[in-house]
Structure 1
Amino acid sequence: MALIGYARVSTRDQHTEAQTDVLEAAGCEKVFVDHASGTLARRPALDQMLEYVRAGDTLVVTKLDRLGRSVRNLKQIAEDMQERGIGLRALSQGIDTTTPGGRLFFHMLAAIAEFEHDLIVERTHDGLAAARARGRKGGRKFKMTATKISQARAMYDSKEHTVQEIADTFGVSRPTIYRHLQSSAGAPGAVR
């Protein structure tokens, strides 16, 4: 029955001492530390820690957001640990899944966070649909205007420039140039 700590900071410039000091004060025998964004799928110290912990151990974090990339990922990690007989304790949120009340609280928080995420997605879709109904389109502005496309076509047809040179001239990729040259396929000298 060991307490095992896990700390994570998002960038190399951030310091882990604030988290590791709290984890050591909580009685953690060993602390694993990652220097990686929470959105990254690969976090080596997390993988090592998950291999290290055994049934009866409790994983301790300062806050839940240090552990999971998303609510779904956090829930998946917690369920995997629960199946293996490993507890989870989040110090600042007062969550301890080794108790029935702690498990209930954790699942309620996860459900609320997932509900909030679903609401945000729904509002985003509604906002995009309303914008489209008003004739607005989302996304980046096209780099290639009609004038630039005709200039690129002229450069290509002159056979004095490579497609890469044309792409570099307009600050776009080769596939973008090819796509625009093919879109004007009806034009004389179109790429086929």
Structure 2
Amino acid sequence: MATIGYARVSTRDQNPEGQTDVLEAAGCEKIFVEHASGTLAKRPALTDALSYLRDGDTLVVTKLDRLGRSVRNLKHVADELQQRGIALKALSQGIDTTTPGGRSFFHMLAAIAEFEHDLIVERTHDGLAAARARGRKGGPKFKMTANKIRQARSMYDSGNHTVQEIADTFGVSRPTIYRHLQSELGQA
């Protein structure tokens, strides 16, 4: 029965030592460290940790958000661990699925988090529908107005400016300038 740790930091610049120190203090014999955003579907160190774990082992994380990308993903990982006979401990939340109370607490947290997520989605949809009913649309505000496109065309046609200079003038990328110049040619 091994105690295995998993630590994750979102970027290469972040230091995982705070997590690894806590995991070592918790008695983890081996620690897998990930340098990746939690939103990424592929997390090699987590895959390695899950492959390394055996029936009767315990996976330890400092916080649940280090383990799962979302509530559903976290629940999926926890269910997989449970099916394989592997316990889960989240140290800062006091979750320990080796006990009936810990399993119950984990499932309650997961259910509450999923409910909260569903409420956020519902409120977002309601807000978007209300905005649409008032004639507002979502999405980015375009930086290139018709007037700016004409100015960019004039600058380009004069031959005195590079496309990069034109892009810098309007605060957009070169592909944006090319796209607008191309679309204006199509309209002429």
Deviations 1:96-135 (A, max 9, x none): 1122221111111111001101111111111122222222
Aligned partner of 1:102 in structure 2 is 102
Work out the CA distance in 1 between the residues paired with 2:155 and 2:18: 59
TM-score with structure 1 length normalisation? 0.79
Aligned partner of 1:40 in structure 2 is 40
Aligned partner of 1:73 in structure 2 is 73
**Equivalences, count:** 186
Aligned partner of 1:50 in structure 2 is 50
Question: Is the aligned partner of 1:113 residue 2:113?
Answer: yes
Provide closer, same or farther for how the CA distance between residues 61 and 152 of structure 1 changes in structure 2, counting only shifts above 3 A: same
Work out the CA distance in 1 between the residues paired with 2:145 and 2:167: 15
Q: Which amino acid aligns with 2:127?
A: G
Contact 2:87/2:98, CA 8 A, preserved across alignment: yes
Deviations 1:44-89 (A, max 9, x none): 2111111111111010111101111111111111111111111111
Aligned partner of 2:93 in structure 1 is 93
Q: Which amino acid aligns with 1:77?
A: V
Deviation at 1:26, TM superposition (A): 1.4
Contact 1:152/1:177, CA 8 A, preserved across alignment: no
Contact 1:143/1:172, CA 8 A, preserved across alignment: no
Partner SS, residue 31 of structure 2: strand
Partner SS, residue 7 of structure 2: strand
Gaps of 5+ in 1: none
Aligned partner of 2:21 in structure 1 is 21
Partner SS, residue 4 of structure 1: strand
Partner SS, residue 38 of structure 1: coil
Contact 2:167/2:177, CA 8 A, preserved across alignment: no
Contact 1:149/1:181, CA 8 A, preserved across alignment: no
Deviation at 1:6, TM superposition (A): 0.7
TM-score with structure 2 length normalisation? 0.81
Gaps of 5+ in 2: none
